[in-house]
Amino acid sequence: MPKTRPSAGPENPLVVAVAYDGLCTFEFGCAAEVFGLHRPEMGEGWYRFAVASVERGPLRAAGGVRVIADGELDLLAEAGTVIVPGWRAVDAPVPKALTLALQDAHARGARILSLCSGAFVLAAAGLLDGRDATTHWRYADELVARYPGLRFVPDVLYVDAGSVLTAAGSAAGLDLCLYLVRRDWGPEVANKIARRLVVPAHRQGGQAQYVERPVPRERAGGSCLGPLLDRVRGALDQDWPVERLAAEAALSPRGLHRHFRDATGQSPGAWLVAERIVRAQELLEGTAIAIEEVALSCGFGSAATLRHHFRAVLGSSPAAYRARFSTTGC
């Protein structure tokens, strides 16, 4: 896996978002928020942002918003990154001019991103043939049925297939945009942007946790588990069996499971593994300590156990993750 050096930046910093009549406002906002804001603290080389219109004239966007683009599809010829923020409907035809512009941009070396239903546009352009891809879980069956040449990846927030990247549901577009910042600039910069947005720099898990499930009755910060979760996060190297967790929360094991589900949407064990993975990521990015020591510091006990959980959650080995995202030069 190629190493991403921090503060390197993209070779071509121009990001062009595609706008169309019926524009998905939220998905477009994700792209604009990450790539379109002036960030003088980032110095030279930070992204430039433009909007390319599929149709002429002011465009309608969801919520009664009108959009006036910077130019037409010829802007894609100058872009280093092109973003398709959703599409007006999964069964809406994709104009030939748009598919040709995307094909030309990709052939020239631009990275092409789709957010949510924008995957249908990339598929119509043939850019997903033979590639891993994802989209919102509601549209998965339709995408696979219509474009059997792609390899659909379920239960993920986004897929990086190199020069073509796809995000799942609407908010997963923000995850993918932050991931691209991480790929271009390294974890410290991505973390800084995420803090400005008040969102996690990297969310664990996939779409399965969001499919047709009730909204939790209370969140961890406002439940009786808040102090316990803070204690566990500060001592991840220790053993935390359910019996200990329940005792420290003054709950029965059964009550603990119920409160965990309500507060975090996960079982105690799943939450603990996710927290240990987050800590492992921090150590792999920011230190040069050995993988075995990372495993012990996070409570996994051995490098083999760390590798097992790391690959199950992130689809990568700890060593490969460090090679890509380390800020220490190791």
pLDDT digits (tens, 9 = 90+) for 246-267: 999 999 999 999 888 877 778 8
Q: What is the pLDDT of residue 91?
A: 94
Contact between residue 252 and residue 280 where contact means Cβ atoms under 8 Å apart: no
Diameter over CA atoms, the chain: 65
Contact between residue 80 and residue 15 where contact means Cβ atoms under 8 Å apart: yes
CA 220 to chain CA centroid, Å, is 22
* Mean predicted lDDT score pLDDT of the chain: 87
Cβ neighbour number for residue 37 with a 10 Å cutoff: 13
pLDDT, one tens digit per residue, over 89-98 is 999 999 999 9
The pLDDT of residue 268 is above 70: yes
Contact between residue 110 and residue 79 where contact means Cβ atoms under 8 Å apart: yes
Q: Which residue among the candidates 24, 30, 116, 298 is catalytic per the annotation?
A: 116
- Looking at the chain, the whole-number percentage of residues with pLDDT higher than 70 is 89
The pLDDT of residue 278 is above 80: yes
How confident is residue 220, by pLDDT bands cut at 50, 70 and 90?
A: very low
| Residue among 277, 275, 293 nearest 330 (CA) | 293
Instruction: State in Å, rounded, how far the first CA of the chain is from the last one.
Output: 14
How many contiguous H segments (helices) and E segments (strands) does the chain have?
Answer: 13, 11
Tell me whether residue 177 is one of the annotated catalytic residues. Answer: no
The mean per-residue pLDDT over the stretch 294-309 comes to: 95
Which DSSP helix (H) or strand (E) runs through 36?
A: none
Task: Categorise residue 329: left if φ over 0, alpha if ψ from -120 to 50, beta otherwise.
Answer: left
Q: Which two tokens stand for residue 120?
A: 């249908």
Q: Which two tokens stand for residue 141?
A: 């069956």
pLDDT, one tens digit per residue, over 133-165 is 999 989 999 999 999 999 998 878 899 999 999
Q: Hey, what domains does the chain have and what are their CATH numbers?
A: 14-197 (3.40.50.880), 221-330 (1.10.10.60)
How confident is residue 296, by pLDDT bands cut at 50, 70 and 90?
A: very high
Give the predicted TM-score (pTM) of the model. Answer: 0.68
Contact between residue 123 and residue 115 where contact means Cβ atoms under 8 Å apart: no
| Residue among 157, 87, 158, 168 nearest 125 (CA) | 87
How confident is residue 204, by pLDDT bands cut at 50, 70 and 90?
A: low
Residues 6+ apart with CB under 8 A from 44: none
Contact between residue 259 and residue 270 where contact means Cβ atoms under 8 Å apart: no
The pLDDT of residue 45 is above 60: yes
For tokens 């897929």, what's the residue?
159
| Residue among 173, 175, 208, 167 nearest 193 (CA) | 175
Say which residue, 17 or 271, is predicted with more confidence.
Answer: 17
The pLDDT of residue 8 is above 80: no
The pLDDT of residue 120 is above 90: yes
Q: Is 121 helix (H, G, I), strand (E, B) or coil?
A: helix
